[in-house]
C-alpha cells in the first residue's frame, strides 16, 4: 500500500473546533474555577451552562447559522462567553475594537452584516450611536451586574435573556467553516474583515497552550484585549487546559500587580508599552512565583528585559498579524544561549523567531518570490503558510489575491513586513512594506490619518509615517503642507484628526514644510522615515 494513499476510516475525522475545549473542561474540571470577574467566580460547569444559554438566547433573537453578531466589550465575562456561545449557535461573531470611534465601528458592523450587537454597559452610548447608523441592528446591553455588584440582574437584558433561554447547540460539521470576523487596519481606506475558521482557531489555540506553558494550574490574567485577534486564541487555549480566566475590565499597572499577588496569576500577554508601565509602577515588586508573559507588536528592549527578570517575569517575544490568528512566530529560546552576555541574549530575544507548532513554514522572499539567504543581512518579505493563516478577506477577493504569493507547496500569505533570515530559521523584522504603524499594539493605517488631516480646509498635502517612541514603540508623525497664508498650529491639526477618527490614531507631531517627491510627483515616505529613524539599524520599534 502506498504511504500517500488516502485510507477511509469510520472513526476519523472529527471536525476541529475550539468549542470542543469547553466540553472537555466541563467534564474534567467542572467543579474548578473557570472565571474570576471581580467578586464573581464561576466554575467550568457554570461557565459552560452560560455559554449554551447564550447560544439559546442568540436563537431566540432570530439569528440563524451563518448570520453575524458583533460584540463591543472590555475584558469581562460576556466577552469570554461570546467566544464559545456564538459558535455554539452556529453564528459568526465579530469582536469590535472598543478604541475606535462610533463611525468606524458602524462601518465594520455594516460590512460584517451583523444583525445584533451585544454591548457592555460602559459602551452602551457608543452602541446606540452604531445602531442609529446601521439600519435594523438590534442592541443587547449587559451591565455585568454579577461581576461588578452594580444594578440588579433583572435590569440587565443580557442576564435576563440568558436566564430565559434554553441551552442550545449546533454541531460543527465543516471545520473550515467561518468562525469569526476580525477587522484589521488596512493600508487603503476601510479596514478588511479577516475570516477565521474553526480549524485554524482550534490548532492555533493548541499551539498557544503548548508553547505558552499553560496547564490546569494556569491562572491567566486578561491584560490583552479580547478584540485583538480573538485574544490571540487564548480564550480557547486557557479553556483547553482547564486554566482559570481572570477578567480585567480596566488595564492599570497597580491592578495587574494586585492580581499577581492576590489571585495567583501565572500568565498574561501584553504589548511592551504595558510592560514598561508595570516595571515603573510604585507597586512593582518581585512576583511570588514566575509569571510567564508573551509580548508582541515590538521587540522588548534589553533594559526592559532586565527589569522584568528582576521582577520574576519571564518574557517570550511573539510575532503575528490578525491574518494569522495572532501569534504565528515565536522566539523559541535555545538553552545554549543562556551563557551569552546579556546584550547578546537581548539581541536574540528581539528576533521575531521561528514558526509556531502549527505554522507550516516561514520564508523571507525577494521580489521574485525566491528565498533570501539566511545571512542575517539580506532583506525580503515575510511569507507564511499554515493552518493558522486566514481563510481570506471577507467580501474582498482582490485584497486576498494581493496578499498571496505562489511558492513551494502552494500559496503563501505575504505579511508586508520586511525582514532578514538568521540561521536556524529565525526571522527578524527590519521594516514594513505596508504603511501601517503599530503603536502600543494597535494597528494604525497611515492613509486613514492622512485622509483625516486632508479634510482640514487649510491642508494642501500631507504624509504620515511611523516615528520611534520609547513608550508606545511607534507613533504617527505627520508632515504637512499648508495653504498659503493659513494660520494653523500643530495642536489645531491634532484636534481636527481626533474629531474624525479614534483619538489614539492622531499624530503625535506635525512638521510643516515641503514634502520630498519623485520626478513623477509621488511623496517619498521613505525619506521622511529615514529622517525620523536615523541612527537605527531597523525601521520598526
**Full set of structural domains in the chain with CATH:** 19-250 (3.40.50.12780), 336-432 (2.30.38.10), 438-532 (3.30.300.30)
Mean pLDDT of the chain: 89
| CB of 313 closer than 8 Å to CB of 293 | yes
Residue 151: pLDDT band with limits 50, 70, 90: very low
Encode pLDDT of 155-176 as tens digits.
589 999 999 999 999 999 999 9
Q: Please give the sequence-ordered ranges of beta strands (E in DSSP) within 470-526, or none if there are none.
A: 473-482, 509-512
Query: Cα dist. 411→57, 322, 384, 401, 474 in Å?
Result: 40, 18, 9, 10, 31
| CB of 414 closer than 8 Å to CB of 405 | yes
Nearest to 204 by CA among 78, 33, 327, 292: 327
Encode pLDDT of 334-344 as tens digits.
899 989 987 78
pLDDT number for residue 145: 46
* Pick from 54-63, 203-212, 357-366: least confident: 357-366
| pTM attached to this predicted model | 0.84
Nearest to 71 by CA among 50, 56, 54, 48: 54
pLDDT number for residue 154: 39
pLDDT number for residue 191: 87
Packing angle of the helix pair 253-262, 272-279 (nearest 10 deg): 80
Query: Is residue 462's pLDDT more than 80?
Result: yes
Is the model more confident about 441 or about 512? 512
Encode pLDDT of 65-122 as tens digits.
999 999 999 999 999 999 999 999 999 999 999 988 899 999 999 999 999 999 999 9
Query: Cα dist. 53→158, 160, 168, 175 in Å?
Result: 11, 11, 6, 23
Tell the burial category of 425 from Cβ atoms under 10 Å away from its Cβ (0-12, 13-18, 19+). Answer: middle
pLDDT number for residue 2: 53
Cell 440587565 belongs to residue: 156
Amino acid at each position: 500500500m502506498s504511504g500517500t494513499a488516502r485510507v477511509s476510516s469510520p472513526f476519523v475525522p472529527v471536525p476541529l473546533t475550539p468549542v470542543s475545549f469547553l466540553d472537555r473542561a466541563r467534564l474534567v474540571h467542572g467543579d474548578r474555577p473557570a472565571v474570576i470577574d471581580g467578586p464573581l467566580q464561576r466554575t467550568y460547569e457554570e461557565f459552560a451552562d452560560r455559554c449554551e444559554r447564550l447560544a439559546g438566547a442568540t436563537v431566540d433573537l432570530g439569528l440563524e447559522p451563518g448570520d453575524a453578531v458583533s460584540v463591543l466589550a472590555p475584558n469581562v465575562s460576556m466577552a469570554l462567553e461570546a467566544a464559545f456561545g456564538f459558535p455554539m449557535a452556529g453564528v459568526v461573531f465579530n469582536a469590535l475594537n472598543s478604541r475606535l470611534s462610533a463611525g468606524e465601528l458602524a462601518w465594520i458592523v455594516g460590512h460584517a452584516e451583523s444583525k445584533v450587537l451585544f454591548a457592555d454597559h460602559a459602551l452602551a452610548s457608543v452602541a446606540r450611536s452604531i445602531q442609529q447608523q446601521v439600519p435594523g441592528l438590534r442592541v443587547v446591553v449587559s451591565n455585568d451586574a454579577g461581576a461588578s455588584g452594580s444594578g440588579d440582574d433583572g435590569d440587565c437584558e443580557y442576564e435576563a435573556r440568558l436566564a430565559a433561554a434554553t441551552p442550545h447547540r449546533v454541531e460543527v460539521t465543516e471545520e473550515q467553516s467561518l468562525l469569526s470576523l476580525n477587522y484589521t487596519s488596512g493600508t487603503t481606506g476601510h479596514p478588511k474583515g479577516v475570516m477565521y475558521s474553526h480549524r485554524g482557531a482550534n490548532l492555533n489555540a493548541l499551539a498557544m497552550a503548548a508553547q505558552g506553558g499553560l496547564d490546569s494550574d494556569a491562572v491567566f490574567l486578561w491584560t490583552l484585549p479580547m478584540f485583538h485577534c480573538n485574544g490571540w486564541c487564548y480564550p480557547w487555549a486557557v479553556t483547553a487546559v482547564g486554566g482559570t480566566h481572570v477578567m480585567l475590565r480596566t488595564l492599570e499597572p497597580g491592578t495587574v500587580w494586585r492580581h499577581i499577588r492576590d489571585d495567583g496569576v501565572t500568565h498574561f500577554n501584553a504589548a511592551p508599552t504595558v510592560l514598561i508601565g508595570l516595571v515603573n509602577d510604585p507597586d512593582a515588586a518581585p512576583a511570588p512565583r514566575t509569571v510567564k508573559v508573551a509580548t508582541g507588536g515590538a521587540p522588548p528592549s534589553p533594559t526592559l528585559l532586565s527589569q522584568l527578570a528582576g521582577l520574576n517575569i519571564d518574557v517570550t517575544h511573539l510575532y503575528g498579524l490578525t491574518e494569522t490568528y495572532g501569534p504565528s512566530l515565536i522566539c523559541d529560546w535555545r538553552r545554549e544561549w543562556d551563557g551569552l552576555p546579556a546584550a547578546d541574549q537581548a539581541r536574540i530575544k528581539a528576533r521575531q523567531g521561528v514558526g509556531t507548532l502549527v505554522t507550516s513554514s516561514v520564508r523571507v522572499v525577494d521580489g521574485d518570490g525566491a528565498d533570501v539567504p539566511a545571512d542575517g543581512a539580506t532583506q525580503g518579505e515575510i511569507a507564511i503558510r499554515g493552518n493558522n493563516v486566514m481563510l481570506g478577506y471577507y467580501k474582498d477577493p482582490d485584497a486576498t489575491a494581493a496578499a498571496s504569493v505562489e511558492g513551494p507547496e502552494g500559496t503563501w500569505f505575504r505579511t508586508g513586513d520586511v525582514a532578514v533570515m538568521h540561521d536556524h530559521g529565525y526571522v527578524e523584522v527590519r521594516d514594513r512594506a505596508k504603511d501601517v504603524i503599530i503603536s502600543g499594539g494597535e494597528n494604525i493605517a497611515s492613509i486613514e490619518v492622512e485622509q483625516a488631516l486632508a479634510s482640514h480646509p487649510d491642508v494642501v498635502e500631507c504624509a504620515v509615517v511611523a516615528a520611534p517612541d520609547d513608550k508606545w514603540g511607534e507613533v504617527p508623525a505627520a508632515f504637512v503642507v499648508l495653504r498659503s497664508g493659513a494660520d494653523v498650529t500643530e495642536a489645531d491639526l491634532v484636534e481636527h484628526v481626533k474629531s474624525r477618527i479614534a483619538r489614539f490614531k492622531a499624530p503625535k507631531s506635525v512638521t510643516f514644510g515641503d514634502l520630498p517627491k519623485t520626478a513623477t510627483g509621488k511623496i517619498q515616505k521613505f525619506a521622511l522615515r529615514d529622517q525620523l529613524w536615523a541612527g537605527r539599524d531597523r525601521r520598526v520599534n
